[in-house]
């Protein structure tokens, strides 16, 4: 397929912050954008040239998107795969429905990892009560995860005994699940790759991540953040996973680094990722520009990181401090705007708010990336920013 050049319209299913940042990147490069999302006030819909306000599986809405857009992508993995297949009859869709559907099912995802020669934690599928007594004892203690449509720690329960496993499966609604052996975790990391239609592939450096309550809190990227051998293995593993899918688009692969230094894959996201938002401010090409390039069939250039970076995820909790300025409890229904002016006075501070009109606890409202001449400067500034915002310090494990 020949390249789709600026002036054309690029479509995205999903109107959240990832769709918004994709739209910004596409528009900066001269494209028009079209968003399909059921939320009339979606962040991406508010900044796009076209907003199709309909469900993801609405045939008429999909036809309108195909009529507007010259190529179509997605900003989240839980879009119905049949909708992507439906669109692909008329327009290029990247990533393809087949890759997205694998990412929607933990068991298929793990089978794919194994088939690509990438290690993951020992696991067993559970979709019937009769299988629980047959689970190997060495998988306990473990984590029971629903097989489909989980993210940000949702659908996960820790279990230590077979009795706890049976109870957890009941609480999960007796849906298909995967039991993963609980591994001795040292830290987490991720790798973002972009693969073109012609098989060309580029990647960003491995990123060190810290999660709190199952949600990404901090990402740090600089040459010393991960041992070179671990970073190289993570990058090669992510590339193998993308190649195994014949993937076209931006793909994030998340890993666990164990106490003995071994690397095991956790999961993949067939889209740009929260852990890659730092690329907007610390690289000459961001993950969202690469999403545009892979969708439009443009050449891929190897991203260059020009500054050490540390990214803080900003949840809606920041709008609900426990105490007001005189030390009195503040009501949960009284959001207070965080101290943005003070934060933006810090050198190297880059604030990104996602245009969500209602802050809620646990809701991703934005992110703050700190860049600087060296990582010590970056960490010092990030600690100060975190203190201003009321985020936990220290910012690492």
209 is in an annotated binding site: no
151 is in an annotated binding site: yes
DSSP labels, 285-320: S-HHHHHHHHHHTPPP----B-S-EEEEEEEGGGGS
* Distance set, CA 267 to CA 134, 215, 292, 363 (Å): 25, 14, 23, 21
Q: If DSSP codes are grouped into helix, strand and coil, which group holds residue 387?
A: helix
117 is in an annotated binding site: no
211 is in an annotated binding site: yes
Distance, C-alpha 6 to centroid of its chain: 27
| CA 308 – CA 208 distance, rounded (Å) | 12
266 is in an annotated binding site: yes
Q: If DSSP codes are grouped into helix, strand and coil, which group holds residue 50?
A: strand
In the DSSP assignment, the letter for residue 368 is: E
| CA 72 – CA 383 distance, rounded (Å) | 40
153 is in an annotated binding site: yes
Question: 185-206 burial, b for 16+ CB within 10 Å, e for fewer?
Answer: eebbbbbbbbbbbeeebbbbbb
150 is in an annotated binding site: yes
The binding site comprises: 106, 145, 150-156, 188, 211, 266-267
The binding site for ATP comprises: 106, 145, 150-156, 188, 211, 266-267
């Amino acid at each position: 397929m020949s390249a789709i050049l600026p002036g054309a319209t690029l479509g995205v299913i999903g109107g959240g912050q990832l769709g918004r940042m994709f739209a910004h990147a596409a528009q900066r490069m001269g494209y028009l954008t079209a968003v399909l999302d059921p939320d009339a006030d979606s962040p991406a819909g508010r900044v796009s040239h076209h907003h199709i306000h309909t469900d993801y599986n609405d045939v008429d809405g999909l036809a309108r998107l195909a009529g507007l857009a010259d190529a179509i992508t997605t900003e989240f993995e839980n879009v119905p795969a049949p909708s992507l297949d439906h669109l692909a009859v008329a327009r290029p869709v990247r990533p393809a429905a087949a890759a997205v559907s694998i990412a929607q099912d933990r068991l298929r995802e793990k089978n794919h990892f194994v088939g690509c020669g990438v290690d993951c934690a020992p696991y067993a599928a559970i979709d019937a009560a009769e299988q629980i007594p047959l689970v190997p004892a060495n998988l306990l203690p473990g984590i029971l995860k629903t097989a489909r449509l989980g993210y940000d720690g949702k659908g996960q329960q820790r279990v230590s005994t077979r009795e706890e496993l049976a109870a957890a499966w009941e609480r999960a609604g007796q849906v298909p699940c995967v039991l993963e052996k609980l591994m001795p975790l040292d830290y987490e990391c991720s790798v973002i790759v972009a693969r073109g239609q012609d098989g060309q592939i580029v990647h960003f450096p491995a990123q060190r991540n810290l999660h709190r309550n199952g949600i990404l809190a901090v990402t740090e990227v600089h040459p010393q953040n991960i041992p070179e051998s671990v970073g190289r293995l993570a990058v090669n593993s992510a590339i193998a996973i993308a190649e195994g899918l014949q993937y076209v688009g931006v793909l994030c692969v998340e890993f666990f680094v164990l106490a003995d230094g071994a690397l095991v894959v956790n999961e993949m996201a067939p889209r740009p990722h929260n852990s890659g938002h730092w690329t907007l401010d610390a690289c000459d090409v961001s993950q969202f520009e690469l999403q545009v390039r892979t969708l439009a069939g443009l050449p891929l250039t190897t991203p260059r990181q020009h500054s050490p970076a540390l990214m803080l995820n900003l949840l809606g909790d920041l709008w609900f401090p426990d105490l007001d300025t005189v030390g009195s409890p503040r009501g949960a229904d009284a959001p207070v705007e965080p101290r943005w002016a003070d934060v933006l006075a810090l050198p190297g501070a880059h604030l990104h708010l996602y245009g969500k009109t209602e802050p809620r606890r646990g809701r991703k409202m934005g992110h703050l990336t700190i860049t600087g001449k060296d990582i010590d400067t970056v960490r010092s500034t990030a600690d100060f920013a975190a203190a201003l915002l009321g985020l936990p310090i220290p910012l690492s494990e």
